[in-house]
Amino acid sequence: MKANTKETYNVPKEHVKVTPRLVIAYIVLAILAFLCLFFFYILIINSTRNHVQIQQGFSFLPGKSFVKNFINVKNDANIPIFSGLKNSLLVSTCCAVLSCYFSALTAYGLYAYDFKLRKAAFIFILLILVMPTQVSALGFIQLITKMNLMNTLYPLFIPSIAAPAVFYFMYSYMQSSLPMELVEAARIDGCGEFKTFNKIVLPIMKPALAVQAIFTFVGAWNNFFMPALIVTNNDKKTLPVLIASLRSADFLKFDMGKVYMLIMLSIVPIIIVYILLSKYIVAGVTLGGVKE
pLDDT tens digits, one per residue of 120-175: 988 898 888 888 777 788 888 899 999 998 989 999 999 999 888 899 989 988 88
Cβ-proximal residues to 274 (8 Å cutoff; 6+ apart), any chain: 214
Angle, helix 239-247 to helix 256-277, in steps of 10 degrees: 160
Residue 286 is given by DSSP the state T
| pLDDT the model gives residue 251 | 54
| pLDDT the model gives residue 248 | 60
* Mean pLDDT, residues 206-220 taken together: 88
| pLDDT the model gives residue 76 | 78
Helix (H) or strand (E) holding 181: helix 180-188
For residues 32 and 97, state if they share a domain: no
Q: Determine contact, residues 164/129, Cβ cutoff 8 Å.
A: yes
Helix (H) or strand (E) holding 100: helix 81-112
Give CA–CA dist 247/241, Å, rounded. Answer: 10
| pLDDT the model gives residue 211 | 85
Per-residue confidence at 15, pLDDT binned at 50, 70, 90?
A: low
Q: Is residue 233 part of a domain?
A: yes
Q: Determine contact, residues 47/257, Cβ cutoff 8 Å.
A: yes
Identify the domain boundary among 44, 66, 88.
66
For residues 147 and 276, state if they share a domain: yes
The number of beta carbons lying within 10 Å of the beta carbon of residue 262 is 23
Residue ranges making up the domain that contains 29: 20-66
pLDDT over 80 at 237, yes or no: yes
Per-residue confidence at 247, pLDDT binned at 50, 70, 90?
A: low
| pLDDT the model gives residue 133 | 76
Q: Is residue 140 part of a domain?
A: yes
Give CA–CA dist 131/136, Å, rounded. Answer: 8
Report the range out of 11-15, 76-80, 113-117 with the highest average pLDDT: 113-117
Chain centre distance of CA 241: 19
Radius of gyration in angstroms for the set of CA atoms belonging to the chain, rounded to a whole number: 26
For residues 42 and 93, state if they share a domain: no
For residues 28 and 89, state if they share a domain: no
Per-residue confidence at 94, pLDDT binned at 50, 70, 90?
A: very high
Q: Is residue 291 part of a domain?
A: no
For residues 40 and 86, state if they share a domain: no
Q: Determine contact, residues 126/227, Cβ cutoff 8 Å.
A: no
For residues 30 and 79, state if they share a domain: no
pLDDT over 70 at 105, yes or no: yes
| pLDDT the model gives residue 258 | 83
Give CA–CA dist 90/100, Å, rounded. Answer: 15
Q: Is residue 25 part of a domain?
A: yes
For residues 46 and 126, state if they share a domain: no
For residues 111 and 42, state if they share a domain: no
For residues 55 and 199, state if they share a domain: no
* Mean pLDDT, residues 247-254 taken together: 60
* Mean pLDDT, residues 93-101 taken together: 94
* Mean pLDDT, residues 32-51 taken together: 86
First to last CA, the chain: 60
Per-residue confidence at 288, pLDDT binned at 50, 70, 90?
A: very low
The number of beta carbons lying within 10 Å of the beta carbon of residue 85 is 17
| pLDDT the model gives residue 158 | 92
For residues 50 and 100, state if they share a domain: no
> What angle (nearest 5°) sits at the alpha carbon of residue 209, between those of residues 207 and 214?
100
* Mean pLDDT, residues 181-205 taken together: 86
Q: Is residue 194 part of a domain?
A: yes
